Amino acid sequence: MTVNLLEFDSEGLASFCEGLGEKRFRATQLFRWIHQRGATGFDEMSDLAKSLRDKLSGVAEIKALPVISEQVASDGTIKWLFDVGGGDAVETVYIPEVDRGTLCISSQAGCAVGCRFCSTGHQGFSRNLSTAEIVAQLWYAEHELRRRAAPVGGAADGTRVISNVVMMGMGEPLQNYGALVPALRVMLDDHAYGLSRRRVTVSTSGVVPMIDRLRDDCPVALAVSLHAPNDALRSDLVPLNRKYPIDELLQACTRYLEKAPRDFITFEYCMLDGVNDTAEHARELIALVQPAGREGVSCKLNLIPFNPFPESGLKRSAPDRVQAFAHRLQEAGIVTTVRKTRGDDIAAACGQLAGEVQDRTRVETRRVRAPIRSQPAAPALQGPRV
Ligand code: SAH
Ligand code: SF4
């Protein structure tokens, strides 16, 4: 069986080359060919010893994911659907902006967390992606977009297209930790994509022990999907909260900040009409992140207008409601932004990624189908014990 070299970070590739009886520095050349040049075959690696090329062609390959479809939104957002086998397919989204290009990458086929407002969560869970499958999304997007940017008939000049990566596609990245970390290392590696830690963001629904491990193993920018200012509501929206309640989550955020590349955590808050968007919820949220008498978590709030999908039974908060909520947080001195919805005409916006997932957890039969009710904020304002 051949090994897919997209599976390796530079250390892994060096060990693999050593196993072939080669010097470790050869691995750096190979790594650059794969990730900086987008090489697909060993023949084109002209400065690599012929003996190594011969050895590699017998045991290794650079295997991309088959593209099932590509859709381009009116705002230039591109969504690819990649086949990962076994009836599963995952989505990757490229979001062009004036000063950056962001790639939103999937980490799992489906997701086992099952948040009520998330299309991926509604589909259930099939399996974790491998490091190669995570990296292949970036490898393909970067080199494909470079080719398209090249002058007609000319070669791509190697100028980077993707400047930021967000692990905000399908899946909970911190429930696929073993595959995630080598993939992050490839993104950061100067011999590969050379992205700065500040421009690689892991978004999590709050897997507390893995937040601690990420801090020690590979601290990148962290976004935490908060979505509610109290445990009762958060447990309803994000079931993982029953295992790791808000208090523990905020303490993990504080610990993460000791090594984080940015001096704040981004809290994501999906704005759901009548569910978590009232003035009382805003007050409760402020008290949560700025508890009286002690230090809170250094954070920014990113409000995401809910992107609807048919099965959710939820509605997006009206724009003036979102603005009023944002205003209340800003008045309290919390840096708050409202996320622009991108690519919603091709269902590429946050939470709309559904791909194709063979649910192996029967999430739909387990799910409590009770319609969500509007919930008042809890009367007692309890902050975290930090
Ligand atoms: N599993 C990770 C990352 C993927 S989801 C996480 O939950 O953080 C990326 C972001 O999109 C999260 O903040 C998530 O809560 C949000 N999201 C999910 N469904 C959404 C929807 N329908 N509308 C708006 N945002 C949504
Ligand atoms: Fe999973 Fe994130 Fe969707 Fe929740 S919001 S179901 S954690 S992908």
Q: Domain ranges for the chain, please list them.
A: 3-61, 67-366
Question: Which of the four pLDDT bands, split at 50, 70 and 90, describes residue 376?
Answer: very low
CATH 3.20.20.70 fits 67-366, yes or no: yes
pLDDT digits (tens, 9 = 90+) for 246-301: 999 999 999 999 999 999 999 999 999 999 999 999 999 999 999 887 888 999 99
How close is the Cα of 1 to the center of ligand 2, in Å?
A: 34
Instruction: For ligand 2, say whether the CB of 350 is within 6 Å of any of its atoms.
Output: no
Instruction: Catalogue the active-site residues.
Output: 91, 350
Q: Tell me the ligand closest to 169's alpha carbon.
A: 1
Q: Please enumerate in sequence order all residues whose Cβ is within 8 A of that of 366, keeping only pairs 6 or more positions apart, or say none.
A: none
pTM: 0.92
pLDDT of 306-360, one tens digit each?
999 888 999 999 999 999 999 999 999 999 999 887 887 777 777 777 777 888 8
Assess whether the C-beta atom of 123 lies below 6 angstroms from ligand 1.
no
Contact 83, 68 (CB under 8 A): yes
Mean pLDDT score of the chain: 91
Query: Could you confirm whether domain 3-61 is CATH 3.40.50.300?
Result: no
Distance 30 CA to ligand 1 centre (A): 36
pLDDT of 89 higher than 50: yes
In which region does residue 114 sit, left (phi positive, over 0), alpha (psi from -120 to 50) or beta (all else)?
A: left
- Supply 11's token pair: 């250390």
pLDDT at 372: 44
Tens-place pLDDT, residues 210-254: 999 999 999 999 999 999 999 999 999 999 999 999 999 999 999
Pocket of ligand 1 contains residue 304 by CB under 6 Å? yes
